[in-house]
A = this chain, B = another copy of it.
Amino acid sequence: MATILDKPETKEAMSSLNLEKIRRDFPILRREVDGKRLVYLDNAATSQKPLSVINKLSEYYQRYNANVHRGIHTLSEEATAMYEGTRETVRRFIDAKETCEIIFTRGTTEGINLVASTWGKQNVLPGDEIVLSPMEHHSNLVPWQVLAQEREAKLVFLELTAEGEIDMEAAAKLIGARTRIVAVTQMSNVLGTINPIKELAALAHKQGAIILVDGAQSVPHMQISVQEMDADFVAFSLHKMLGPTGVGVLWGKKDILKAMPPYMYGGDMIASVSRERSRYNELPWKFEAGTPNIGDVIASAAAFEYLSELGLENVREHEVEITRYALNRLREINGIAIYGPKDPQKRGGVISFNMKDIHPHDLGQILSDAGIAIRAGHHCCQPLMKDLQVMGTARASFYIYNTFEEVDMLLAALREADKVMGNVAYR
């Protein structure tokens, strides 16, 4: 390892991606922060956007901005074709059977709320159980808490191993006859853990339950097939995968979506309306009330295309390697606690850690002053923080444009932080 560490240039050659070329596509990476080059390691919060996405957005507003679906004029026809075309792009990307299973939302949070308050209200009865993992993001926890309270249903939590993986033996017992739904993240935004969705889906289906997958962290970083994993719902956010803010996708199995009542009511989701009563539109429009986020949906197509061109297997490989390198380097620091699986193959490119005695907020601040953007806090996972017995963690998360050199810069800054805080953890 030592020789590689000495020559940062050669480290990049280890990547399955052409990082230099990729970085040129992201204008923000040329930005300086207080005179220092930006090192963006907050990708689990939101990713940066390539020019192709920014330009597509701009082009939409400069060339064919119009409201969709009901318009008969040229602009509206063009916008509708592009908007609906993106649905097909998504379908292919996640390997869904039909485009009518693709619902555009604002993001993962809205997707999960949609399911909890339509499917949930229809199907969860008093005494029923909703099974969650202890590593769920608040967005995949609080909607179920509220549903459980309303329905007098019970939340059941899966168990984690010491390395932060779901204990599948316990899961086989916890997912039982009263389970109506298993709602679980495919990749933890704190631990990085990749959960075995297919096995969990099998356990759920055996009990006649369904499974909802929070794909916020997984879909941007690895190839998924909703059919392969045999999920019933998958929700994810475009802003975490090179797309603009304000768009997400909820995919659901057609038969389940068909049986659900609508979520919001208004224009576009109706078939016909009289003063007292309305008939609702077909899938997917039944779930898309009002003017959608047309521009951002259309621009999202460029994000999907960018990732597909790189190849999701290359994206994943790059992240495994940079995570492996970062884990190794971080372990050099005395008094550091790193959470989640040790094997980079078993996790995503998200590393949460604490440097003894230094509050993550202080770390985050000092790193920011060095131009390095990481996240610090509870990462919307307060129950997990409690389980880990910490107030919060510092979190570095990688994406397709991050280099091994940036990991080195992180390390240097962490050492500097140690000094600033008058701490003696590292010698």
Contacts and interface: CB of A to CB of B under 8 A. Distances in A.
A380 B70 CA distance: 9
Contact of A76 (B31, B42, B295): B42
Interface in A281-315: 289-296
A8 to B, nearest CB: 23
A66 interface: yes
B266 A33 contact: no
Interface in A1-28: 27-28
Interface stretch (A45-53, A89-97, A164-172, A337-345): A45-53
Interface stretch (A136-144, A190-198, A225-233): A136-144
Interface in A40-87: 40, 42, 45-46, 48-49, 53-54, 57-58, 61-67, 70-76
A266 B112 CA distance: 9
Nearest to A267: B380
A292 B246 contact: yes
Contacts of A292: 106, 245-246
Given A109-B290, A245-B293, A62 B264 contact: no
Given A110-B290, A145-B278, A382-B274, A73 B265 contact: no
Interface stretch (A250-258, A318-326, A368-376, A418-426): A368-376
A402 interface: no
Copies in the complex: 2
A383 B273 contact: yes
A110 B76 contact: no
A115 B24 CA distance: 45
B138 A276 contact: no
Given A71-B375, A245-B295, A266-B109, A275 B42 contact: no
A136 to B, nearest CB: 10
A77 B140 CA distance: 26
A215 interface: no
A42 B246 contact: no
| Secondary structure type dominating chain A contacts | mixed
A290 B139 contact: yes
A377 interface: yes
26 contacts: A27-B62, A28-B63, A40-B75, A42-B71, A46-B66, A49-B61, A65-B245, A72-B376, A73-B375, A74-B373, A106-B292, A106-B293, A113-B266, A137-B267, A138-B266, A139-B266, A139-B267, A141-B273, A142-B265, A142-B278, A244-B296, A245-B292, A246-B295, A274-B382, A293-B293, A295-B296
A34 B75 CA distance: 11
Interface of A: 27-28, 31, 33-34, 38, 40, 42, 45-46, 48-49, 53-54, 57-58, 61-67, 70-76, 106-110, 112-113, 116, 134, 137-143, 145-146, 155, 157, 237, 239, 244-247, 264-270, 272-278, 289-296, 361, 364-365, 367-368, 372-377, 380, 382-383, 386
Contact of A289 (B70, B72, B139, B266): B139
Contacts of A109: 264-267, 289-291
A291 B48 contact: no
Closest 5 CB pairs of A and B: A109-B290, A246-B293, A139-B266, A73-B373, A142-B265
Contact of A361 (B48, B54, B64, B72): B72
Contacts of A268: 380
Nearest to A274: B383
A275 B130 CA distance: 12
B112 A291 contact: no
A11 B139 CA distance: 56
Q: Which of A40, A70, A361 has the largest count of B CB atoms less than 10 A from its CB?
A: A70
Q: Which of A64, A74, A291 has the most CB of B within 10 A?
A: A291
Contacts of A142: 265-266, 269-270, 273, 278
Given A109-B267, A382-B272, A382-B273, A291 B58 contact: no
